[in-house]
Structure 1
Amino acid sequence: MFSLLFVALVALTGRVLALSFSCSEFTSKIDAQATNVAHITLNFTGSGTVRVAGSWDIAFRFCQPLLTKLDTSSTLQVLGSGATYTKEYWHLSYKPEDYDYQRHAAVAGYSTLAFDLLGAGASAKPDPFCVVQIPMNVAIATEIVKRVRGGTLTKALPAFSKIVYVGHSMGSVILNGIMVGSPSLIDAAVLTGYAHPSTDMPVHVPTVADGDIQIAATTFPRRFGSLDPGYTVIENRALFYGPNGTFDPKVFELDVATQDLVSVGDADTLNVGERLAADFTGPILSVEGDLDAGNCTPNCSNIPEEAAFYPRAASFDYVIIPNTGHVLNLHLTAPKTFAIILEWIKSQGF
Structure 2
Amino acid sequence: MASALVILLSAFSLAQASSDFTCETYTVPLKNISAPSFKLSFEIKTQFDINDWTFNEARRDSSTAFNGIAGPSTTVGDFDISARFCTPLKATKLAQTVLVMTHGVGADKTYWDPTLIGGEQYSLVQAALARGHSIFHYDRLGTGQSTKADPHTVVQFPIQVEILASLTRLLLAPSSPYTLNTTITSAFHLGHSFGAYITAAFGPLYPELTQGISLSGYSGLFDWFNILIAGWQSRVAAQLDPARWGSLQSGYVTPVDIYADAYLDFKSPFFDHAVAEWVTSAKSPYAIAELATLGQTSYNTSSFTKPVQVFQGRYDLSACGGNCDGVLNRTALLWKNASPLDITGSFPAGHMVNLHHNASIAFAAMLDFVGENVQGTK
| Fold conserved between structures, TM > 0.5 | yes
CA distance in 2, matches of 1:120, 1:151: 29
Q: Distance in 1 between matches of 2:346 and 2:120?
A: 19
Moved more, 118-127 or 301-310: 301-310
Structure 1 residues 178-187 or 118-127, which shifts more? 178-187
Structure 2 residue 166 is matched with structure 1 residue 143: yes
Shift of 1:307: 2.4
Letter in 2 for 1:34: A
1:58 to 66, 74, 81: 81
Superposed CA RMSD: 2.2
- For 1:142 and 1:182, how far apart are their aligned partners in 2? 7
Aligned with residue 281 of structure 1, among 305, 309, 329: 305
Unaligned runs of 5+ in 1: 1-17
Pairwise mapping of residues 125-204 of structure 1 onto structure 2 (< 5 A)?
125-151=148-174, 154-157=177-180, 158-197=182-221, 201-204=223-226
The answer to whether structure 1 residue 272 and structure 2 residue 273 are counterparts is no
* TM-score, structure 1 normalization: 0.87
The Cα of 1:259 is off from its aligned counterpart by 1.2
**Equivalent pair of 1:321/1:337 in contact (CA under 8 Å):** no
Q: Secondary structure at the match of 2:207?
A: coil
Moved more, 124-133 or 229-238: 229-238
Q: For 2:24, what is the secondary structure of its paired residue?
A: strand
Tell whether the 8 Å contact from 1:173 to 1:273 is kept in structure 2 after alignment: no
CA apart distance, 1:153: 5.4
| 1:254 alignment partner, SS class | helix
3-state SS, counterpart of residue 38 of structure 1: strand
Aligned mates of 2:177, 2:285 — CA distance in 1: 26
Question: What does residue 101 of structure 1 align with?
Answer: 124
Paired residue type of 1:26: Y
> How far apart are residue 47 of structure 1 and its match?
1.3
Which of residues 247, 252, 265 is equivalent to 2:271? Answer: 247
Q: How many residues align?
A: 329
Quick one: distance in 2 between partners of 1:80 and 1:197? 19
Measured in 2, the distance between the counterparts of 1:205 and 1:263 equals 19
- Residues 260, 155 of structure 1: alpha-carbon distance in 2 compared, 3 angstrom cutoff: closer
Letter in 2 for 1:324: A
CA contact (8 A) 1:128 1:228 kept: yes
Give the residue type in structure 1 aligned to 2:305: T
Query: Cα offset for 1:196?
Result: 1.7
Amino acid at match of 1:313: A
- CA shift in 2, pair 1:244/1:314, >3 Å: closer
Q: How far did residue 321 of structure 1 move?
A: 4.1
**Matching residue's letter, 2:160:** N
Runs (5+) with no aligned partner, structure 2: 1-17, 54-67
Label 1:185 to 1:263 Cα distance change in 2 as closer, same or farther (>3 A). same
Secondary structure (helix, strand or coil) at the match of 1:59 reads strand
1:73 deviates by 2.5
Q: Secondary structure at 1:117's aligned position in 2?
A: coil
Shift of 1:202: 4.5
Is 1:78 paired with 2:79?
no
TM-aligned CA distance change 1:254 to 1:210, over 3 Å: closer
Q: 1:301 to 1:124 in 2, by over 3 A?
A: same
In structure 2, the CA distance between the partners of 1:116 and 1:205, relative to structure 1 (3 Å rule), is: farther
1:226 paired to 2:251: no
Question: Deviations 1:41-62 (Å, cap 9, x if unpaired)?
Answer: 2365221111110110000011
Give the distance between the partners of 2:265 and 2:142, measured in 1 at CA. Answer: 24
Residues 244 and 312 (structure 1), Cα distance of their counterparts in 2 relative to 1, 3 Å cut: closer
What secondary structure does 1:47 align onto? strand
